[in-house]
Structure 1
Amino acid sequence: MKSNVETAEIAQPYAQALFSVAQSKNLTEEFGSDARDLLDLLKNSDQLRNLIDNPFIQAETKKAVISQILGGDSANPYLRNFLLLLVDRRRIFFLDQILQQYLVLLRQLNQTVLAEVTSAVPLSPEQQQAIQQKVIAITQARQVELETKVDSDLIGGVIIKVGSQVIDASLRGQLRRLSLRLSN
């Protein structure tokens, strides 16, 4: 079982190394896009997650699957070699955390903040744009990257989390606050 502290200690240097390579080759945005795609793939594919997490699967098998996922020789050779190195070093198990940390470094470079938005229903593009503008006004960031989730338990409204700051504009939150006031 992975602890958060151990994971961060292992993932951070690898993410920084990948970021250094990306910067030196002027590929930070391309690697960022690839990192997001790989994270989506890991999130949506239990088979891939099991392959990466299983220590009994041979390294060569993992390398073959990674090469196949990246499209063989058409993929960026630096990223492919980095992932193969993770397999060799038995660190592919931390791929998710390494990619997440890479995206943190990329956001810092671009002065972008991540806003985690939980809503009762899927947000329209106009609503997403309005939330982005509100977050830019609050944080003074250049750009905002939205990570949206739907939680029907909210009844209505949204919860926006930016770093450690949480803005609860959901009906569930308003009802909870009203209940606390009435009970006092």
Structure 2
Amino acid sequence: MAGDNTSLGDLAGRYAAALLDLADERKALDEVAGDLQQLRSLIAESADLRRLLTSPIYSRAQQSKAVAAILDKAGLGELTRRFVLVVASNSRLFALSAMIEGYLTELARRRGEITAEVTSARNLSDGQQAALLNALRSTVGDKVQLDLTVDPALIGGLIVKVGSRMVDSSLRSKLQRLQLAMKGVG
């Protein structure tokens, strides 16, 4: 059967599209997007939560009960809560992160927004974020959103990825290039 050979992206895309349609009908696109961003942060911060979502050890009932408690504690909206519980009851929690990304990506695409993935060695101040956002807007257009992550291994500088373009001005990369250049000298 054709449905048996479904990839994770197709599965997550279908669920994300369904949630997007429901949120659009209820005029709750931004509310759901905020909930999903909060949920994405919770997943990123907790190895235990990631384990709960992906481990086949937990039964459907155990996962549903645990996820319901987490959603209640996080204070997510009713539509997002019901969506995640349906995902849990269908034993699809392993794809929840991909569903979240699918929803946020499609919402941004519909709005004509571009997301710039920015990795820095330390948290950027509000002023630094504003300056970076202004520089990106002058380059790629007005509807730019920043997706900030911190990677102390960069030592300093930034890595900025917009679409298929990437600018790596991190100190780590500069040191690696210098090391390669010095190896070739000897």
TM-score of the pair, normalised by structure 2: 0.82
1:50 Cα offset (Å): 1.5
| SS of aligned partner of 1:122 | coil
1:94 Cα offset (Å): 0.4
Deviations 1:17-65 (A, max 9, x none): 0011011101111111111111111111122222221223222222222
CA distance in 2, matches of 1:170, 1:41: 27
Matched with 1:169 is 169
Structure 1 range deviating more: 93-102 or 52-61? 52-61
1:129 Cα offset (Å): 1.0
Give the direction of change, closer, same or farther, for the CA distance of 1:53–1:181 in structure 2 (3 Å limit). Answer: closer
1:14 Cα offset (Å): 0.5
| SS of aligned partner of 1:36 | helix
Q: May I ask how many residue pairs the two structures share in their alignment?
A: 178
Matched with 2:97 is 96
Give the direction of change, closer, same or farther, for the CA distance of 1:120–1:51 in structure 2 (3 Å limit). Answer: closer
- What RMSD over aligned residues (CA atoms) do the two structures have, in Å? 2.4
Q: How does 1:1-184 map to 2 (within 5 A)?
A: 6-71=7-72, 75-152=76-153, 154-174=154-174
CA distance in 2, matches of 1:96, 1:34: 13
CA distance in 1, matches of 2:119, 2:84: 32
1:178 Cα offset (Å): 6.2
Give the direction of change, closer, same or farther, for the CA distance of 1:87–1:175 in structure 2 (3 Å limit). Answer: closer
Q: Percent identity?
A: 31
Structure 1 range deviating more: 55-64 or 156-165? 55-64
| SS of aligned partner of 2:117 | strand
CA distance in 2, matches of 1:181, 1:48: 44
